[in-house]
C-alpha cells in the first residue's frame, strides 16, 4: 500500500510534468533525469518513473562525475548505472575535470561544477531529442538559495528563488523542471526509506569550505533559534515574490513596448519616453533589454544599472556605457541603443 507521503510527492511530480504530457505515445516528450545517486535525485527518479506511463513521458538518466571525489565518484556512477539498468532506462554517464575548469575559467569549484553539470545535461537532452531536464532541487535548497541571494545582495528577481519551470541555464530553449521545490529534505529522506531506496552520500555536501554548505550547516541553525520555521518562511517568501513578479513582468513588458524598439543591431530606446518612466520601470526595461540580447541577466549588476540610469537621465548625454561584460549602451541626446559589445568601453560623457 502506498503511503500518503509517497502519494503526495508523486502528485507534486505529476503536476510539474502535466503541462508537457503528450496526447499520443509518438509525441511523448523526452525527460532527462539528472541523477547523482543521492536521496534527492533518487526520489525524483523513482517518483517520475511511477507517473511516466500515465503522463506519456520518455525518461532517461544522466549522471556527471565532476572528477573531484576519486573512487567515491566512480562508485556513484556504478550505482546510477545499476539503477538505470534495473529500470531498463537509457543512461548517459560522463566525467568532467571540474578542478581544471575552475582554474581555467577563474571560477569557484561550486560555480564551475554547476556550469559543467548544466552544459552536460543540455548536451544529453539535445543528443536524445529531449526538451525537458528534471532537477531534484527541493524546499531546503530553495530556502538556502533565497538566503544566499539576500546575503550577496539581490532584488525581487533574485528573491523569486528557483522556479518549477524555467529555462535551462546552459540552453534557454530547453526547460528545466523542478518538481520537488515544495518538498523538504526530511520528506525526501522518508520517501526513500518507505520505497526502500538506498541513496549514496556525497561527503562534499558536508564540507564547510563551500559557501552553500556553511549556510546549510552553520547559518540556518542559528536563524532557527529566532524562527524555528525559517526554512518555510524563506520558501514562502520566494513563492510570494514569484506571484508578485507576474504583475511586475506585465508592467515591464507594457513599458518596454512603449519606449523600446528591437532592431537588427540592438534595441533602440526613445530617451524622453524612457526618462518619463518610474525608477523601477527604468531599471526593469534595461534588464529586459539585456535579457533579450543575451538570454539572461548574467553579469548585470545593480551598480551598473544605476550608473547607466544616472547617465541616461542627465542632460543631453552622448557616448557609450558599459552595462555588462558583453552589453553596451550607445547614447545620444534623443535616443540610446542597447547592443552586444565584445569590448566593454568606459562611458565618455559629453554635454555638448
CATH code of residue 182: 3.40.50.620
pLDDT tens-digit series, residues 13-30? 999 999 998 766 667 899
Q: What would the mean pLDDT of 67-72 be, rounded to a whole number?
A: 87
Check whether residue 308 and residue 202 sit in a common domain.
no
Pair (162, 268) in one structural domain: no
Same domain membership, residue 193 and residue 317: no
In terms of pLDDT, which residue wins out, 147 or 301? 147
CA distance 342 to 19: 39
Same structural domain for residues 190 and 293? no
Q: Which domain-ending residue is among 212, 233, 254?
A: 233
Range picked from 62-71, 87-96, 165-174 for highest mean pLDDT: 87-96
Tell me which residue of 134, 115, 136, 117 sits closest to 39, measured CA to CA. 136
Structure confidence by residue, pLDDT tens digits, 111-123: 899 999 999 999 9
Task: Give domain status of residue 347, yes or no.
Answer: no
With cut-offs at 50, 70 and 90, classify the pLDDT of residue 106: confident
- Is pLDDT at 131 greater than 90 in this prediction? yes
Region 48-63 average pLDDT:
96
φ, ψ of residue 5 to 5 degrees: the values are -65, -50
Model pLDDT, residue 242: 94
pLDDT exceeding 90 applies to what percent of the chain? 75
pLDDT-based confidence at residue 297 (cuts at 50, 70, 90): confident
Q: At what angle do helices 39-55 and 185-194 cross, to 10 degrees?
A: 70
Is residue 58 helix, strand or coil? strand
Domain contains 291? yes
pLDDT for 325? 79
Same domain, 207 and 298: no
Do 211 and 287 reside in the same domain of the chain? no
Asked if the model's pLDDT at residue 75 lies above 80, the reply is yes
User: Are residue 129 and residue 193 in the same domain, yes or no?
Assistant: yes
In a domain, 320, yes or no: yes
215 and 274 housed in the same domain? no
β-bridge partners, 335: 270
List the one residue out of 296, 27, 12 whose CA is nearest residue 164.
12
C-beta of residue 142 within 8 angstroms of C-beta of residue 235: yes
Whether the CB-CB separation of 18 and 177 falls below 8 Å is answered with no
Examine the domain organization and report whether 194 and 272 are in the same domain.
no
- Band (pLDDT 50/70/90 cuts) for residue 350 is very low
Query: Mean of the pLDDT values across residues 43-66?
Result: 96
Of 11-25, 77-91, 122-136, minimum mean pLDDT range: 11-25
**Does the residue 252 lie in any domain?**
no
Q: What is the structure's pLDDT at 24?
A: 65
- Please indicate, yes or no, whether residues 221 and 289 belong to a single structural domain of this protein: no
pLDDT at 348: 43
**Residue 239 forms part of a structural domain:** no
pLDDT tens, position by position, 330-344: 999 999 999 997 543
**Has residue 225 been placed in a domain?**
yes
pLDDT score, position 34 = 98
Mean pLDDT of 34-52: 97
- Among 187, 216, 233, identify where a domain stops: 233
Residue 249 lies in a domain: no
C-alpha cell of residue 330:
550607445
Confidence of residue 154 (pLDDT cuts 50, 70, 90): confident
Buried b (16+ CB within 10 A) or exposed e, 133-160: bbbbbbbbbbbbbbbbbeeeeeeebbbb
Higher pLDDT: 111 or 347? It is 111
Q: In total, how many domains does the chain have?
A: 2
pLDDT per position as a tens digit, 201-244: 887 777 787 888 999 999 999 999 999 999 999 999 999 999 99
Helix (H) or strand (E) holding 126: helix 109-127
Establish if 318 belongs to a structural domain.
Answer: yes
* Residues 188, 40 contacting (CB under 8 angstroms): yes
In the prediction, which pLDDT does 105 show? 87
Separation CA 89–CA 295 (nearest Å) = 32
Whether residue 20 is found in the same domain as residue 131: yes
- What does the pLDDT read at residue 296? 75
Q: Last residue of some domain: 233, 256, 285?
A: 233
Q: What is the domain range of residue 209? A: 4-233
Distance (Å, rounded) from C-alpha 65 to C-alpha 202? 12
Which CATH number is 327's domain given? 3.30.465.60
In angstroms, the CA 290 to CA 280 distance is 16
Distance CA 15, CA 108 (A): 35
pLDDT, residue 93, reads 97
* Burial grade of 26 (CB within 10 A; 0-12, 13-18, 19 or more): exposed
Residue with cell 537532452: 125
The answer to whether residues 325 and 340 touch, using CB atoms and an 8 Å cutoff, is no
- Report the pLDDT value the prediction gives residue 347, as an integer from 0 to 100: 42
pLDDT at site 117: 96
Whether residues 175 and 300 share a domain: the answer is no
What digits encode the pLDDT tens for the residues 183-200?
999 999 999 999 999 999
Instruction: Please count the residues of the chain.
Output: 352
Task: Report the predicted TM-score, pTM, of the whole model to 2 decimal places.
Answer: 0.85
**What's the first-to-final CA gap in the chain, in angstroms?**
79
CA 80 – CA 236 distance, rounded (Å): 33
Amino acid at each position: 500500500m502506498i503511503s500518503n507521503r509517497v502519494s503526495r510527492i508523486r502528485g507534486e511530480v505529476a503536476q510539474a510534468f502535466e503541462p508537457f504530457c503528450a496526447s499520443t505515445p509518438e509525441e511523448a516528450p523526452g525527460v532527462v533525469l539528472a541523477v547523482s545517486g543521492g536521496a534527492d535525485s533518487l526520489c525524483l527518479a523513482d517518483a517520475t518513473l511511477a507517473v511516466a506511463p500515465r503522463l506519456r513521458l520518455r525518461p532517461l538518466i544522466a549522471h556527471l562525475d565532476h572528477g573531484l571525489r576519486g573512487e567515491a565518484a566512480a562508485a556513484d556512477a556504478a550505482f546510477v548505472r545499476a539503477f538505470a539498468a534495473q529500470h531498463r532506462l537509457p543512461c548517459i554517464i560522463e566525467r568532467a575535470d571540474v578542478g581544471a575548469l575552475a582554474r581555467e575559467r577563474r571560477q569557484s569549484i561550486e560555480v564551475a561544477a554547476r556550469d559543467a553539470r548544466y552544459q552536460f545535461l543540455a548536451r544529453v537532452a539535445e543528443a536524445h531529442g529531449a526538451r525537458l531536464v528534471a532537477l531534484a532541487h527541493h524546499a531546503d535548497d530553495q530556502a538556502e538559495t533565497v538566503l544566499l541571494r539576500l546575503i550577496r545582495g539581490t532584488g525581487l528577481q533574485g528573491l523569486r528563488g528557483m522556479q518549477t519551470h524555467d529555462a535551462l541555464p546552459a540552453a534557454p530553449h530547453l526547460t528545466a523542471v523542478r518538481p520537488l521545490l515544495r518538498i523538504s529534505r526530511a520528506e525526501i529522506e522518508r520517501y526513500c526509506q518507505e520505497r526502500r531506496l538506498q541513496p549514496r552520500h556525497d561527503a562534499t555536501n558536508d564540507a564547510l569550505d563551500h559557501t552553500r554548505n556553511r549556510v546549510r550547516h552553520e547559518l540556518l541553525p542559528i536563524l532557527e533559534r529566532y524562527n524555528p520555521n525559517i526554512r518555510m518562511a524563506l520558501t514562502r517568501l520566494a513563492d510570494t515574490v514569484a506571484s508578485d513578479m507576474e504583475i511586475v513582468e506585465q508592467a515591464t513588458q507594457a513599458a518596454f513596448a512603449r519606449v523600446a524598439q528591437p532592431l537588427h543591431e540592438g534595441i533602440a530606446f526613445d530617451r524622453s519616453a524612457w526618462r518619463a518612466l518610474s525608477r523601477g520601470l527604468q531599471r526593469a526595461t534595461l534588464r529586459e533589454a539585456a535579457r533579450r540580447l543575451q538570454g539572461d541577466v548574467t553579469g548585470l549588476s545593480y551598480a551598473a544599472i544605476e550608473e547607466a540610469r544616472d547617465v541616461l537621465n542627465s542632460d543631453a548625454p552622448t557616448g557609450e556605457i558599459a552595462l555588462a561584460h558583453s552589453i553596451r549602451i550607445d547614447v545620444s541626446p534623443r535616443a540610446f541603443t542597447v547592443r552586444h559589445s565584445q569590448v566593454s568601453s568606459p562611458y565618455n560623457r559629453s554635454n555638448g
